[in-house]
Amino acid sequence: MWGCPTPFLSRQLQDLRTAIEELADGLEVLDRSNLLGALVGSLDLRTLPVHRWYYYKEGFSPHLPRLLLDELGAGASRVVLDPFAGVGTTLLALQTHPGVSAVLGAEHSPFAHFVAMTKLGSLGLDPRVLRHHADRLVQYRTDFRHVSVPSLSSFANEKIFDRRSLYDLLGAKDAITSDPILNERERAFFLLGLAAIVEDVSGAMKDGRALRIRNGRRRRPNALTPTAGASAGTDVRTLLRNQWLAMAEDFASWTAGCDGHRPKTTVARGDARNLLNLAGHDGRPLLDKSSVGLALFSPPYLNCVDYTEVYKLELWLLGLVESHEEFRTLRQGTLRSHPSITFPDRRRTFDGRALVFDIVDSLSEFLEAHLSRPPVGRMVAHYFDDMYEVFVQLARVVEPGGRIACVVANSTFSRRADHQASQMEVWRVPILTDLLLARLAELAGFDEIQLWTARQLRPRNITDGTARESIVVARKPQQ
């Protein structure tokens, strides 16, 4: 994992490595890759009914929340919380589970929040009515004089949208939002279908950390095709109708298991670093102290992905962001897992001395001094400061004896230099995020900490080697 650093830096890296090994001492690590390997990734989100309505590549499998719930229980309260709810995978997966009384979530992105709430709110819609509306809506007429183009520059970039696709997308949005017949849940259903085809009709692609111009590169389509009544074509109207019909087909399998027990499900828009201040839809606090039996979640990974940037087409198209000011504020409110902007000052809330923070600071200082992009080094310290705050909040809302399960992947940072007409790795630093988070959870008051390893990923930025994806499991002690 540590590669072969140049002799100049090897002493410093050896000291770091020794300190990290000390941190790992005594931690219980269980290889659970057989069970978890396929569940920590997002592949199932492409195929499972309703979950597949919008493919969120940062999500985990809907089978994972059920498995974690079966293994860890939901405490006396039987309340499950996902503080990084994304597109609502946990909530949707547990929405009929007999072992829970409520599934609650928090999510910062208005777009992911919209996807989650739309899916959860669609239960009970009538697929025959939806099909009828789909056929009616797809015949919308675009009035070019009244369509307003979002002020995000991507919508004026002809490499991203040709004029025809752009006006078809905006015309569809206008038709859905101004339709006098749809109720609000139906409207959200059709808008979600629109968001799901945007990337496919654009010349852009979500590529790792950013939305990039495709330039002829291959892209896996995200838009759905119904098993019956599909039309051929790649234009906006054809893709939209196919997407809506495919979404409507999911009701047959989805509603089958939904007749009986229905836990309360809701996602609040807000910050996982401030859980006790989240408000539910009725305006009342979403969470009380010691009210959650199981918190299961996957935070943004330490991989420089700026979610606001990656999902900007959807955010602006749906009108969830309308100005650059709003867009900047949104980016600044995310967990500090990316270095693409300057965040407002936020001090570390832990003010004592702890080995885990000493190591975080050493890693951060090393990277700041030796990476070509020093802000990446600062990001490392900020990320763990933020995650410590999340654990402190969780220690307040989780009941005594309750559990947390945090899905996360490790990262590797490296530096290369020119050497005889090729690039040679000068040093490499693995960031064992799972281990650092385990110790931060402990510092925040959790015990019985375990690492369940799930699979090995191949980082893009190093030629050989792997990075672990795992689940940090911990318990809030009984008082």
Judged by the rule CB under 6 A, the positions of this chain that interact with ligand SAM are: 56, 58-60, 84, 86-87, 89, 106-109, 112, 271-273, 298-300, 307, 334-335
Tokens of 431: 């960031």
Which residue lies nearer to ligand SAM by CB, 51 or 476? 51
Q: Provide the minimum distance between the beta carbon of 472 and ligand SAM in the complex, in angstroms, as a whole number.
A: 14
Q: At what angle do helices 184-201 and 163-178 cross, to 10 degrees?
A: 170
Which residue lies nearer to ligand SAM by CB, 201 or 315? 315
Query: 25 Cβ partners below 8 Å, 6+ apart?
Result: none
Q: Point out which residues pair with 279 in neighbouring strands.
A: 285
Tell how far CA 338 is from the center of its chain: 13
Tokens of 156: 């004026």
Tokens of 148: 């307003």
Residue 275 · residue 83 · CB < 8 Å: yes
Tokens of 118: 């739309």
Q: Provide the minimum distance between the beta carbon of 90 and ligand SAM in the complex, in angstroms, as a whole number.
A: 6
Which residue lies nearer to ligand SAM by CB, 344 or 352? 344
Which residue lies nearer to ligand SAM by CB, 24 or 35? 35
Tokens of 436: 């650092």
Which stretches does DSSP call E strand in 369-421?
398-409, 411-419
Residue 248 · residue 228 · CB < 8 Å: no
Q: How many helices (H) and strands (E) does the chain have?
A: 16, 12
Q: Provide the minimum distance between the beta carbon of 89 and ligand SAM in the complex, in angstroms, as a whole number.
A: 3
Task: Report d(CA 374, CA 368) in Å as an integer.
Answer: 4
Please state, as a whole number, how many other Cβ atoms lie within 10 Å of the Cβ of residue 17: 15
Task: Report d(CA 441, CA 435) in Å as an integer.
Answer: 10
Burial class (CB in 10 A: 0-12, 13-18, 19+), 381: buried
Residue 412 · residue 429 · CB < 8 Å: yes
Which residue lies nearer to ligand SAM by CB, 84 or 167? 84
Q: Which residue is nearest to ligand SAM (CB)?
A: 86
Q: What is the total residue count of the chain?
A: 479
Q: Provide the minimum distance between the beta carbon of 96 and ligand SAM in the complex, in angstroms, as a whole number.
A: 18
Task: Report d(CA 157, CA 19) in Å as an integer.
Answer: 50
Burial class (CB in 10 A: 0-12, 13-18, 19+), 121: middle
Which residue lies nearer to ligand SAM by CB, 59 or 459? 59
